[in-house]
């Protein structure tokens, strides 16, 4: 299983790469905007080049287009790829799976994925909220599909009138136990991001689909753990969530005790 950092912040990305267990980077316009506001980025081209460089060869960096029709997306994807892939040969272009609500034709993203695949440009299909979207993106040639687990949890909780904070773990089991049939079916029976992930994984296995699934929009370590258990090939998570992956109060307590006992046992003599 691979772990990507979902961030547009170069310091976070650099630090995460230094841990030696982070295998790639995903960005999106919102993350780049947040970094831009925080850091006052002046030269975006230079900044994104540096992100590609810090990630380094063999660690994919997803960079998103801003256009919404096929022609624009393909044009921008080629520009992004030509500009940044020279840095460390690690660029993947992020394309939204649907353009419904903006363009007349909701298939603009799918068409763009097909064209980019035929040009050899790797695509990460983003904003995946259903197994069918994931399948269409994979059929069109996406190398990665990114179901947004946290946003599905948000949607289900909002529809169910559940109050929550963004980082809260979502207990679907209790919801299933208490919900009536209408509530159980409003989102095609998918009541959490993890359920979405499981259904995509099962559908891909049925047809031996090669696209890799990136569990995205991860909000807490428990959701990351459940994604791992559900077989996500990749989990992309914010810096703080990855940091929290090493933590447990008993580990903390244990290391303090070992350090104290090592002193008492005169362990230092072993190393002199
Ligand atoms: O990788 C997708 C991610 O950036 C979206 O996360 O927390 O805004 O839903 P979030």
pLDDT for 56: 97
- pLDDT, tens only, 190-217: 999 999 999 999 999 999 999 999 999 9
- pLDDT, tens only, 128-144: 999 999 999 999 999 99
- Kindly list the catalytic residues: 94
Q: What is the CA radius of gyration of the chain?
A: 21
Q: Who lines ligand 1 at CB under 6 A?
A: 6, 26, 28, 31, 148, 150-151, 216-217, 236
Count Cα atoms within 13 angstroms, Cβ side, for 234. 25
Question: How many CB atoms lie under 10 A from the CB of residue 113?
Answer: 32
Distance CA 211, CA 98 (A): 18
Walk me through the domains of the chain, giving residue ranges and CATH numbers. 2-271 (3.20.20.70)
**Probe residue for ligand 1, chosen from 27, 28, 147 as the CB with the greatest number of ligand atoms within 8 Å:** 28
Minimum CA distance residue for ligand 1 atom 6:
217
Minimum CA distance residue for ligand 1 atom 5:
217
* pTM, rounded to two decimals: 0.95
- pLDDT, tens only, 230-263: 999 999 999 999 999 999 999 999 999 999 999 9
């Amino acid at each position: 299983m691979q772990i990507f950092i979902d961030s547009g912040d170069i310091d976070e990305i650099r630090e995460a790469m230094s841990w030696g267990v982070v295998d790639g980077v995903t960005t999106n316009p919102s993350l780049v905007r947040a970094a831009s506001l925080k850091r006052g980025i002046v030269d975006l081209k230079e900044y994104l080049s540096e992100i590609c460089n810090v990630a380094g060869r063999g660690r994919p960096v997803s960079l998103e287009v801003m256009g919404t029709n096929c022609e624009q997306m393909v044009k921008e994807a080629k520009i992004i790829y030509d500009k940044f892939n020279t840095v460390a040969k690690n660029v993947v272009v992020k394309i939204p799976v649907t353009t419904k609500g903006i363009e007349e034709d909701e298939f603009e993203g799918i068409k763009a994925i097909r064209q980019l695949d035929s040009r050899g440009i790797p695509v990460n299909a983003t904003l995946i909220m259903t197994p069918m979207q994931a399948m269409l993106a994979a059929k069109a040639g996406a190398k990665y599909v990114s179901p947004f687990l946290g946003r599905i949890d948000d949607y289900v909780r909002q529809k169910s009138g559940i109050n929550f904070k963004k980082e809260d773990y979502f207990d679907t089991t209790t919801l299933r136990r208490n919900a009536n049939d209408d509530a159980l079916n409003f989102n095609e029976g998918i009541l959490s991001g993890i359920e979405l992930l499981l259904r995509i994984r099962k559908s891909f296995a049925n047809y031996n689909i090669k696209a890799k699934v990136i569990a995205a929009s991860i909000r807490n370590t428990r959701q990351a753990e459940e994604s791992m258990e559900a077989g996500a090939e990749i989990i992309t998570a914010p810096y703080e969530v990855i940091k929290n992956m090493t933590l447990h109060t008993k580990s903390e307590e244990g290391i303090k005790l070992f350090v104290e006992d090592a002193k008492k046992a005169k362990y230092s003599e072993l190393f002199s």
